[in-house]
Structure 1
Amino acid sequence: MDFIKTTELDSKYNHLEKKSINELLVSINKEDKTVPLAVEKALPQIEKLIQKVVYQLKQGGRLFYIGAGTSGRLGVLDASECPPTFGVPYDLVIGIIAGGDSAIRKAVEFAEDSIDLGWKDLKSHDINEKDVVIGIAASGTTPYVIGALDSCNKNNIITGCITNNYNSPLSKTAQFPIEVVVGPEVVTGSSRMKAGTAQKLVLNMITTTTMIQLGRIKGNKMVDMQLSNNKLVNRGTKMIMTELHIAEEEAKKLLDIFGNVRSAIENYNNGYR
């Protein structure tokens, strides 16, 4: 199969500047509706990669996301949400973006064009054979990401990718490629739109499924979440009340003592009163 960069194909919509706000919204929404269906087609690929991620993390490995621009930002976002949501260490899931943390807010020119910089950034985290590295690039052609994964392969490190084109150089480099082809964007080449949405959905699947498999969810509750604000304290209190069938005052007391929903429930069940 020839490589066709569908993320760069011309939009199905033209003369956008002449359309009303309603017409633009309807067009964007129409295209957005196609994204979950494209993700569905990639579920077998997603499953294979998650199986490997779960295995490696159970062996003491870490999960790395590496990307540039929107793709890099989405990886950093997903990684940064794992500790507060699942109570895992901040160095278990790590997001790396071309150009460093400043590139999260402001684009760093030509950072993604270096074939060597991605591997250098990974080495600064003492990357090793226990880890998994997932490269994210809508086009599947970003040198920063491809170079990083190629070096990982040469050093016996498991590699996966999330891309939005079939048969891309990145897909050929990754051991476990995920290809979610969403087609042309409403604004030609603006892969922050459908492609970015698809990447976010896949990232949600990877970390959420992995953390469930690692025992970080009880029933359907975030029992290991960090209690970083009043909303989460209240949510944790209600979890304890529901699980243990106790009054709010007692549940809040347990949460204050143990600082964690799971710990509060386990200690109560073990006889703490």
Structure 2
Amino acid sequence: MRQLLLSLLALPVLAYGADMAPDTQSNHLRDPNAYSDGYTLDSGPYVLPGPRQLHMADEDNFGHLLADEFEWQEGGVGAYDMQAWYGGTFNRVLVKAEGEYQNSQLEDARTELLWDHAISAFWNLQAGVRSDNGEGPARQWLALGVEGLAPYWLDVEATAYVGDNGRTAARVEAEYDLLITHRLILTPKAEMNLYGKSDQARGIGSGLSDASLGLRLRYEITRQFAPYVGFEYQRKLGNTADLARSEGDHAGETKWLAGVRFWF
């Protein structure tokens, strides 16, 4: 009798799982009308007469600004990693900006203007342009990549670039929020950059150019405002490290840092 009851209780779960096949689920989680059997707010037998009275949030455009890193680093270096977007659920205009400045001078900066398009429940396709500024000549690139949430709640960005004179590059970044409490959050972050050919004017060698590993501990006073402390290890690799040593610079360094994360 106990097994019979358990089997009966499991039937709704099995039926629900059968309806939610992996392909259907991934394709329709962002579609507000995926499970309405064709009935929508402006078609079907249940449409209200007169002008439309109800609008859903996914039909409007919104804007968002996130300063994921806005910090001071050991050695008098200021650094930022920010992004802003405007659009809807499926398509957005996205701006990414990351860089460092010292003594009121911009040392290095990467700015991207992208079209951000949802391709599944947790992944977006991104395409656009990138501009590198700071020390050395400016460089422009075409960009194509993905950004999303990998298994185990890992935030991942992977982008490939094509520039002038046959230049190519790739960038991979991953980070994870570890909740110590509901307000105290530890975030490890790793980043790697690769280049297809050397660019001595900007101190870049071909191959795996550089990598960094950071650890930041933030306290969310509110969800929108969180000061943090941490450290970051930066390492130049391969031909890029050789170029740095030839200029009398260190190939690797560890910096303590403090900053604030905010969004609205």
TM-score clears 0.5: no
Richer in helix (by share): 1
Structure number with larger C-alpha Rg: 2
TM range (shorter): under 0.3
> TM-score, length-normalised on structure 1?
0.25
Richer in strand (by share): 2
